[in-house]
Structure 1
Amino acid sequence: MSLFDGLDVAPDAPALELVMEVRLRFSPLPRLKNLAGGSDKGMVVVEDGAFRGPTLSGTVLPASGGDYATFRGDGVVQLDARYLLQEADGTPIMLHNRGFIWGRSPEVMARFSRIANGLSDESVDPSEYYFRTLTSFDVPAGKHDWLGRHAFVGAGARLRDGNLVRYYKLL
């Protein structure tokens, strides 16, 4: 007998609802290279940015955080980002992203790296790489506290001076 025998209720697959897109500009800091375990660490500080969506809009507060990335030996970039948004009504919102970026080929990640390091004006089409986040928000009680009660995913694109990430609420 299986643990699932006799269960008639199954959860629906989640749907997605666009919440907002965030445009960030970064200032890079020096990368720590050749760490034990074969990875590098990098960090960028948020210079500025803005966000907009169906029910939210505002600015990204400068120097309120950044992205701490691990550049793994297998070509995957593992993200851990935190920064502060300020909604147009003044509400502060702390955003926390954890995610992954990897190219569909080594050549894609080489171009991606040149762009991210300011060494090239090339572009990499977002269809050529995977850039996804699991995102959570800390927000004061009030109009926007729904952000703290839902699960979110992000789909990103790397730009020469930062990122563009679209955030979706899982319904």
Structure 2
Amino acid sequence: MIMAEKLPVKITNSKQFERLVHLMQSNPGIARGTRTFGQNKIQNDEQWDAFATEINSFGPPNRSRKEWQRVWINYKAKTKKKISANNRNIRTTGGGPSEEQTLSALEQVIADILHTDVSVNPPGNVFGIVEMDEDEQNVEPSCSSSPNISITVPKKRQKKNIEEMKVDMLKSKTLNNSAIAQNLKKK
């Protein structure tokens, strides 16, 4: 019977992770797995070879270009999974404690590099709020029952800010619905 030889487990140290993320931050095209116009696979591989040499200088474990690419892909996937779980947690209904997982500083940088905030929470209509560029002044809602409401939404916003706007919009809809109900009672 042939016994398979176990390979030693390589555990990346924190300095190597920091350097990897910094290099990816400096090279967002490579970080996203896309090549810039005119760059071929050989140039991309040469860039990863340079990254591997630099990251390996921060101590063991030493890895090849392909191994560092795999580490980056796994780290991206882990971060995306955590962001997805947080997004799912926000949208769940029912009681119970929040199961939100906080992102580390490096994971937050990865989220910024990959623009996951846009993919998780894309711009567009949210509870009747139309998001516009910063240079546009106001947005008139399309609902004819509330002509006096105008909302300005900055292009880049915090999650807390959008939640407050949702609550405000729901309050205004409630007020409009109660006004309509009172008009119907009078008739």
Give TM class, smaller chain: under 0.3
- Which structure is higher in helix share? 2
- Which structure is higher in strand share? 1
* Larger gyration radius, structure 1 or structure 2: 2
TM-score (norm 2): 0.20
TM-score (norm 1): 0.21
